[in-house]
């Protein structure tokens, strides 16, 4: 592959290639003379950098900086990304779905992948001065409400989209087989996960992880029947860019590597359960979920009653438990990553317990 269709590694990126990409994105006379780059973000499946560009004939509309995303530098993480199709899902999002949505996302200049990877590259709009959210610190309830309501711009436009549900690029051939494999992996790695975080979890929290592993139905998300849409599946502060210089803050969703077709309350429950401090969530989650539900109905989504919505929200609290175990065992370990996963484990188990979700376990 050559020109703007190629998939260079970070080391192979050239001024000529960047020029061709920008021309293909509408900057027809752009000629990049040189560039530099620095690391940005804390993503674990991908390696992201900020490119600073210089031009032969600068124009105000040319981006001074852009963000590039490349495969992880860790071999184990790259292999996991290929298995779960993380790279091809994210490229598919920008090439096939982004233009239909109303959820705020960065402009994409270029997205390409070889099969399901690991060769892939993204060039995205630099949302500076927006910064990556911090899930460990959490956010206040008013920002959480804004972030949850932004999901309507993803869920509403894809509501009950049968073509999306049948799309080869987004769905696995045999969902039941995948579910079985997911549960087997969860059971297999759970002892190591619990040993790693032995001193950070209570006996009750560890027991809930084990009960989920032993549950024959492995109910990590609400059943998908007539209610389905595109879902982010990793909608959390670390995957959001926040510009707090504006009022209200501007929020952009990134890291679409877990994109799937599923139940919309999975995203809502996962965010509120894992990104609010427990006392804040307990005080506000009923109202925020109700506001989301009403906004989704106003968008035109039909077929989801309030009681069904709330039950799905409760059921989806287990999704966070599954995600934290998968992430802990499937990507390269870092000091911050370990602290984040311990925080997520405590919040998500407390969330499920508060909602009485154990009634859905057999």
Q: What number is the average pLDDT over the span 164-189? A: 87
Maximum average pLDDT range among 40-44, 172-176, 221-225: 221-225
Q: Is the pLDDT of residue 12 over 50?
A: yes
Superfamily (CATH H level) for 131-360: Aminoglycoside phosphotransferase (APH), C-terminal lobe (3.90.1200.10)
For the residues of 12-70, what is the DSSP string, one character each?
G--HHHHHHHHHHTT-TT--EEEEEEEE----SSEEEEEEEEEESS--TTS-SEEEEEE
Q: What number is the average pLDDT over the span 136-143? A: 96
Q: Which residue has the higher pLDDT, 194 or 4?
A: 194
Q: Is the pLDDT of residue 4 over 50?
A: no
| pLDDT at site 328 | 83
> Average model confidence (pLDDT) for the chain?
93
| pLDDT at site 43 | 62
| pLDDT at site 337 | 87
**Considering the chain, what percentage of its residues have pLDDT values greater than 90?**
79
Among 29-43, 89-103, 140-154, 195-209, whose mean pLDDT is lowest?
29-43
Q: Give the angle subtended at the CA of 97 by the CAs of 92 and 101, to the nearest 5°.
A: 145
What gap in Å lies between CA 64 and CA 45, rounded to an integer?
26
| pLDDT at site 175 | 77
| Sign, Cα dihedral of 45, 49, 50, 56 | negative
| pLDDT at site 131 | 93
| pLDDT at site 5 | 58
Q: What number is the average pLDDT over the span 183-192? A: 92
Among 124-133, 176-185, 294-303, whose mean pLDDT is lowest?
176-185
What are the pLDDT digits (tens) for 335-360?
Answer: 888 899 999 999 999 999 999 999 99
What region does 26 belong to: left with phi over 0, alpha with psi -120 to 50, or beta? left
Q: Is the pLDDT of residue 53 over 90?
A: yes
Q: Which residue has the higher pLDDT, 209 or 216?
A: 209
| Sign, Cα dihedral of 330, 335, 341, 345 | positive
Maximum average pLDDT range among 41-50, 61-70, 212-221: 61-70
Q: What number is the average pLDDT over the span 58-85? A: 92
DSSP symbol at 357? G
Q: Which residues pair with 53 in a beta bridge?
A: 35
What gap in Å lies between CA 320 and CA 265, rounded to an integer?
12
Contact 251, 104 (CB under 8 A): yes
Q: Is the pLDDT of residue 3 over 80?
A: no
Residue ranges per structural domain of the chain: 3-125, 131-360
Q: What number is the average pLDDT over the span 1-6? A: 50
Which CATH architecture is the domain 3-125 placed in?
2-Layer Sandwich (3.30)
What are the pLDDT digits (tens) for 219-232?
Answer: 999 988 889 999 99
Among 6-10, 42-46, 272-276, whose mean pLDDT is lowest?
42-46
Q: What number is the average pLDDT over the span 158-167? A: 93
Reported as half-sphere exposure (CB side, CA atoms, 13 A), residue 181 has a value of 8
Q: Is the pLDDT of residue 157 over 60?
A: yes
Q: Is the pLDDT of residue 49 over 60?
A: yes
| pLDDT at site 29 | 94
In this prediction, residue 46 has a pLDDT band, given cuts at 50, 70 and 90, of confident
Q: Which residues of 148-175 are buried (b: 16+ CB within 10 A; e: fewer)?
A: bbbbbbbbbbbbebeebbeeebbeeeee
| pLDDT at site 1 | 38
């Amino acid at each position: 592959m050559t020109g703007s269709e190629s998939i260079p590694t970070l080391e192979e990126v050239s001024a000529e290639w960047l020029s061709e990409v920008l021309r293909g994105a509408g900057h027809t006379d752009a000629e990049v003379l040189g560039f530099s780059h620095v690391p940005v973000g804390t993503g674990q499946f991908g390696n992201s950098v900020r490119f600073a560009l210089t031009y032969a004939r600068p124009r105000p509309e040319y981006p001074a900086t852009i963000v590039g995303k490349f495969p992880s530098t860790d071999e184990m993480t790259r292999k996991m990304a290929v298995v779960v199709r993380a790279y091809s899902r994210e490229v598919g999002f920008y090439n096939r779905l982004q233009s239909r949505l109303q959820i705020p996302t960065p402009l994409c200049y270029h997205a390409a992948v070889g099969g399901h990877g690991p060769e892939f590259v993204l060039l995205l709009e630099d949302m500076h001065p927006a910064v990556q959210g911090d899930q460990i610190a959490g956010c206040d309830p008013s920002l959480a409400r804004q972030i949850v309501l932004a999901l309507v711009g993803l869920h509403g436009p894809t509501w009950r989209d049968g073509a999306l549900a049948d799309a080869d690029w987004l769905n696995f051939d045999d969902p039941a087989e995948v579910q079985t494999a997911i549960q087997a992996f969860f059971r297999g790695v759970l002892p190591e996960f619990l040993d790693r975080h032995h001193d950070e979890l209570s006996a009750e929290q560890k027991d809930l992880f084990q009960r989920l592993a032993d549950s024959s139905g492995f109910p990590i998300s609400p059943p998908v029947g007539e209610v389905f849409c595109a879902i982010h599946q990793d909608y959390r502060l670390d995957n959001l860019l926040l510009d707090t210089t504006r009022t209200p803050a501007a929020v952009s969703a990134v890291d679409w590597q877990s994109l799937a077709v599923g139940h919309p309350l999975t995203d809502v429950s996962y965010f509120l359960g894992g990104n609010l401090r427990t006392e804040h969530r307990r005080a506000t989650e009923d109202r925020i979920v109700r506001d989301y539900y009403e906004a989704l109905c106003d968008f035109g989504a039909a077929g989801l009653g309030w009681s069904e919505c709330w039950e799905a929200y409760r059921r989806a609290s287990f999704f966070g438990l599954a995600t934290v175990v998968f992430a802990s065992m499937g990507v390269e370990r870092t000091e911050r990553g370990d602290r984040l996963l311990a925080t997520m484990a405590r919040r998500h188990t407390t969330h499920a317990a508060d909602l009485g979700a154990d009634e859905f376990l057999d």
